[in-house]
Structure formats: C-alpha cells, structure tokens
Amino acid sequence: MEGKIGCTQQEITELTGRIARGRIAPTAGDRDTKGAFPREAVELLGASGILGMILAAEHNGVGANRAAFAAMTAELSGACASTALVAVSHMVVEKAIESAATVAVADKWLARLATGRALGAFAVHEAGSGSNAGAIATKANREGNNYIVNGSKFFITSAGEADVYLVLVRTDPEKGPQGMSVLLIEKDTPGLSFGLPEDKMGLRGTSSREMFFDNCRVPLEHLIGAEGGGLQVIGQNLVGWGFFGAAGISAGIARQATRLAVDHARERKIAGLPIGAHQAVQTLLADMILQTEAAESLIASCAGRADGAPATAAINGIKAKLFASERAVEVADRAIQVMGGHGYCRDYTVERLFRDARGLMLHFKTSELLRQDLARWALDV
C-alpha cells in the first residue's frame, strides 16, 4: 500500500506519482503489447482513494478540483496512458452519479466506485452517429417501471470490464436533442452483450469494444438527471470534468516524452559528442519544453476558470482538451526525432507515447469538432 490520498493538489500528485512510477509504469509496456486491461492498477488507485478524489467527503472523496484532477491524470499517463484513460472514464461516471442520480443508484454504486471495488464507463458514441452525439439511435422506451433499451454503442473504453455504464439513449424520438437521456445500465443486465476488443494503434490496454442492447430492461430509477436532459448530463460531467482529465493525460504524455528525449540527448554520443550538443537537437528540445509547459499552463488556467464558474466548465474543458491533445502529438513526434531510429522501436517508450497521444485527438471529441464548438461559442451561433 502506497498510502492514502491527501487533500491538496501536491499531496494528490505525489501519491499518484509514487504509485504510477513504482507500480504502474513497470508493466505498462507489457500491457501495451498484449492489449491487457490494467485491472491491478485500477484496484491500486481505488484503494489509495485516487479514483474517488473528485467526489465530496461524504462520498469517500476529497472534493478535489479540476486542476488537481488533470494533474493527477498527467502523473498517471506519464506511466501508462491506458490506465489514465480508464480512470478518467470511470471518474466521469462517479461524478454524474454524484450530481444527478437517484438516491437508490447513488447508495448502491457510489462507495464501490470511489474505492475501485466497481468500475464505470460511459457510452455515447455509435457506429452510425460518429462524432455527432445528436445522431444517436439507441432507443429507450418506457414500459411500466422500466425502460426497454435497444441499439448499440461503439468503441467504448472499459467495455466488458466495467460494472456500470452511463449510456446516452433516445427516450423521445420526436424531440431531437431534448429527447435524449442518460441511463445507468449494469453489466449483468439481461440483453446486454459486448463485441471483441478493437485492435488499436495505441491506448491498447483500454478494452475498446462494441456494446449491444437487446431489449435490456432498465429500472426508471436508473435515469441520471431529467428525462430529456441527457445532453446536459454529458455536458456537465463528460465535457465539464472528463475533458480536463483527457487534457491532463495529453500533458502527462508530453512531459514524459520531453523527459525521455532530454535524457537520451544527454546520453547518446556520436563521434564522442552527445547529440544534445547540436543546435538542431537543442531546437527540438526547446520546442518540446515550451509546448509541454504551454499545455500545462492552459489546462491550469482553464481548470481554474471552470472551478470558479462551473457554467463555463464545458467551454474551458474544450479549450484545454483541444490544445493539450495536439501538443502531446507534436511533442511525442519530436521525441522520436530526437531519439532517431531508437525512438521508432518498441523497446523505447516514446513510440508508445506517440501512439497513445494520437488517440486523444480523436477520443471524447475530434479536434475538428472541438474547433467548431470553440468558434461557434465565440461567434455566439
């Protein structure tokens, strides 16, 4: 046991860093090669209180803010971005339950989720809806005390591994965006099944699978938030919190790639000179340092604004996630350049960092659509 979580950002990042470096990093390469789910890492994070950190004290948390959340995910992703992504998906579910679930659902799941004795995942994306959540087709029709859910979800992190799923469904096909709702669906619900894990380029430990709902009977009390309020639940929890976790993952990848490239530039000698002595290599390193710090600074300032005025959390989350995810790809790419052919080989961590970073420009929402959101917010259209 590495210790229990404290309340300050520094205490949280120190504990996470200790666990990440000592217990999660040593097996990250192996999980990447095998596409193995980070079950043990999740249990460690749960036992130490890290998974519950953004919940209030009465729900086994420490009420950590978005800046601390992003800093925590950055510590994790420097060791294993797959573990960090599984943790972010899980924490989005906790937050949504805390803020909008019925007492029965919160009583049943919150303590277990906070301590890692149960795992959560969110399911918005569908093969047919792509980037457009407004185009989902999974239906939930009321029948007595239940919703009957039919449809499918695609590419869901932790699918098949998680115990509970926050699922965006269409409860009223006539109402467009106002006809969507979020349901909590338990893994052992009859009619719920999972596809095989996707064989992805990166983030290979995250078990991305399809989910199939065939007449799944879900109690009405499993509605999260109001019926028709699904997009608000997604906006407040997935965008308003999850995007900061995603941004932190990218920043952590960038910092780790920079660290590895600096070490390599010091150690690798050609004709007696370390490659770091060359100005061209120094330029690459300088850009990596600035890009990493720019991402960290933007995340911190967006998180501060979101914590100070929660109504701005979504737009600040969008800015942080968009900027950090692109910087991480650029930084990891430069790290490979600094390391030459070595950096292109599986034995060197930067090639995994590059593959993992790339997924964050797609997941949650693609860069193109985030730019669209940002410009529309500025234009007020």
Ligand X SMILES: Cc1cc2nc3c(=O)[nH]c(=O)nc-3n(C[C@H](O)[C@H](O)[C@H](O)COP(=O)(O)OP(=O)(O)OC[C@H]3O[C@@H](n4cnc5c(N)ncnc54)[C@H](O)[C@@H]3O)c2cc1C
Is 365 a binding residue for ligand X by CB under 6 A? The answer is yes
Closest by alpha carbon to 15, among 60, 72, 56, 61? 72
Query: Which x/- pattern over 72-91 shows residues binding ligand X (rule: CB under 6 A)?
Result: -----------------x--
Interface stretch with ligand X, choices 96-104, 105-113, 272-280, 364-372 (CB under 6 A): 364-372
3-state secondary structure 314-370: HHHHHHHHHHHHHHHHHHHHHHHHHHHHHHCCCCCHHHHHHHHHHHCCCCCCCHHHH
Distance CA 376, CA 370 (A): 10
Number of residues in the chain:
381
Answer yes or no whether residue 366 interacts with ligand X by CB under 6 A.
Answer: yes
Contact residues for 263 (Cβ-Cβ < 8 A; gap 6+): none
Contacts of 70 (CB under 8 A, 6+ apart): 244, 245, 247, 248, 251, 299, 300, 303, 320
User: Alpha-carbon distance 203 to 186, whole Å?
Assistant: 24
Q: Are 68 and 17 in contact (CB under 8 A)?
A: no
- CB 302, min distance to ligand X, A: 20
Least Å distance between CB 84 and ligand X?
12
Size of the residue set binding ligand X (CB under 6 A): 21
Q: Judged by CB under 6 A, does residue 122 bind ligand X? A: yes
Residue 60 lies near ligand X (rule: CB under 6 A): no
Distance CA 138, CA 153 (A): 8
Which of 9, 367 has the CB closer to ligand X?
367
Instruction: Give whichever of 153 and 264 is closer to ligand X, judged by the CB atom.
Output: 153
Pick one of 42, 119, 166, 203: the residue that binds ligand X (CB under 6 A).
203
Q: In terms of CB distance, is 48 or 206 closer to ligand X?
A: 206
Q: Quick one: CA dihedral 179, 185, 190, 192, positive or negative?
A: positive
Q: Which of 157, 181, 258, 349 binds ligand X (CB under 6 A)?
A: 157
Helical (H) or strand (E) element with 180? strand 180-186
Query: Is 131 an interacting residue with respect to ligand X (CB under 6 A)?
Result: yes
In terms of phi and psi (left: phi > 0; alpha: psi -120 to 50; beta: otherwise), the region of 269 is beta
Identify the helix (H) or strand (E) that includes residue 151.
Answer: strand 146-156
C-beta of 165: minimal distance to ligand X in Å?
9
Question: What is the closest distance, in whole angstroms, from the C-beta atom of residue 267 to ligand X in the complex?
Answer: 32
Q: Which residues pair with 170 in a beta bridge?
A: 139, 180
**List of residues 6+ apart from 136 with CB closer than 8 A:** 124, 126, 129, 151, 168, 169, 170, 180
* Closer residue to ligand X in complex, CB, 301/366: 366
What is the rounded CA–CA span in Å between residue 257 and residue 350?
A: 6
Q: Is 123 in the site for ligand X (CB under 6 A)?
A: yes
**Stretch binding ligand X (CB under 6 A), from 36-44, 65-73, 116-124, 257-265:** 116-124
3-state secondary structure of 16: helix
Q: Toward ligand X, which CB reaches closer, 17 or 317?
A: 317
Binding ligand X (rule: CB under 6 A), the pick from 155, 165, 243, 348 is 155
| Site membership for ligand X, residue 267 (CB under 6 A) | no
Q: Quick check: 165 binds ligand X (CB under 6 A)? A: no
Q: Does 334 help bind ligand X (rule: CB under 6 A)?
A: no
CB of 358 to ligand X, least distance (A): 9
Closest CB to ligand X: residue number: 130
Only segment of 29-37, 95-103, 121-129, 340-348 that touches ligand X (CB under 6 A): 121-129
Footprint of ligand X on this chain (CB under 6 A)?
A: 89, 121-125, 130-131, 155-157, 203, 208, 359, 362-366, 368-369
